[in-house]
């Protein structure tokens, strides 16, 4: 009889968080930059230069930031695993009792917990402690390169959308059109992210639209004030 294999959505967490963050930041930061420049009275060329520069700088910043931050998590995980291996080698009986105690706290009776802990230690001691004591699994383990690539790629895609609006919208309706289009893009992103994560759509869509609209409104207001002052 073949084992029943289930595909859980939590397996996507390694790339989904970075992808949603990248796309959201791409839309919000680029749209806000374009709106701020447009509200100051700049022409289309200035909008496109600012948007393109924001896209390139933002994508590189997202990639570098994700890689550095997730690498820090990976380094911490590696250090914990190294320490755990040393503890298992130095005092395996203590580590056995530690593992059995973890199983008992989860509702397993003492005798069964001892038997399970012995079997797990014999099969893969470091794997058992990584999973049950340190909560490090293949699903949750840090993946710096994957996170960096996902963030950079999705930031670029997200930033390209408001930049495309800046290229095609009439200058007379640039501010309102850019804002409306970018809010629509954010709503779609919230819906796609919720769908990919198996969550209800209303809360993620509302959340991403609210904060994106607030950022764009603030930047446009500053741009208008600066443009008026100049």
What span, in angstroms and rounded, lies between the C-alpha atoms of 63 and 152?
Answer: 5
DSSP 196: H
DSSP 153-180: HHHHHHHHHHHHHHHHS-GGGHHHHHHH
pLDDT reported for residue 198: 72
User: What residues contact 30, with CB distance under 8 A and at least 6 apart?
Assistant: 51, 54, 55, 58, 158, 159, 162, 163
What span, in angstroms and rounded, lies between the C-alpha atoms of 185 and 170?
Answer: 19
pLDDT reported for residue 70: 81
What span, in angstroms and rounded, lies between the C-alpha atoms of 25 and 196?
Answer: 18
pLDDT reported for residue 48: 93
Q: Is pTM, for the whole model, over 0.75?
A: no
Written as tens digits, the pLDDT of the chain (230 aa) is 455 444 444 445 555 667 778 888 899 999 999 998 888 888 999 999 999 999 999 999 988 988 898 888 888 888 988 998 999 999 989 988 988 999 998 888 988 988 989 998 899 889 888 888 888 876 666 678 888 888 889 999 999 999 999 999 999 889 899 999 999 999 988 888 777 767 778 888 898 889 888 888 888 888 777 765 44
């Amino acid at each position: 009889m073949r084992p029943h294999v289930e595909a859980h959505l939590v397996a996507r967490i390694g790339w989904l968080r970075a992808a949603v963050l990248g796309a959201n930041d791409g839309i919000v930061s680029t749209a806000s930059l374009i709106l701020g420049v447009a509200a100051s009275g700049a022409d289309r060329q200035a909008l496109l230069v600012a948007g393109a520069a924001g896209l390139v700088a933002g994508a590189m910043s997202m990639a570098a930031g994700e890689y550095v931050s997730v690498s820090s998590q990976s380094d911490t995980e590696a250090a914990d695993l190294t320490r755990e291996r040393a503890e298992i080698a130095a005092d395996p009986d203590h580590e056995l009792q530690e593992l059995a105690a973890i199983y008992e706290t989860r509702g397993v009776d003492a005798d069964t917990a001892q038997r399970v802990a012995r079997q797990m230690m014999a099969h893969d001691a470091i794997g058992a402690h990584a999973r049950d004591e340190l909560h490090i699994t293949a699903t949750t383990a840090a993946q710096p390169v994957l996170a960096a690539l996902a963030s950079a790629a999705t930031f670029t895609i997200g930033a390209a959308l408001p930049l495309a609006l800046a290229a095609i919208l009439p200058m007379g309706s640039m501010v309102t059109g850019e804002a409306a289009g970018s809010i629509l893009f954010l709503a779609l992103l919230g819906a796609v992210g919720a769908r990919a994560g198996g969550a209800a759509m209303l809360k993620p869509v509302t959340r991403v639209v609210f904060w994106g609209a607030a950022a764009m409104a603030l930047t446009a207001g500053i741009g208008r004030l600066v443009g008026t002052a100049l």
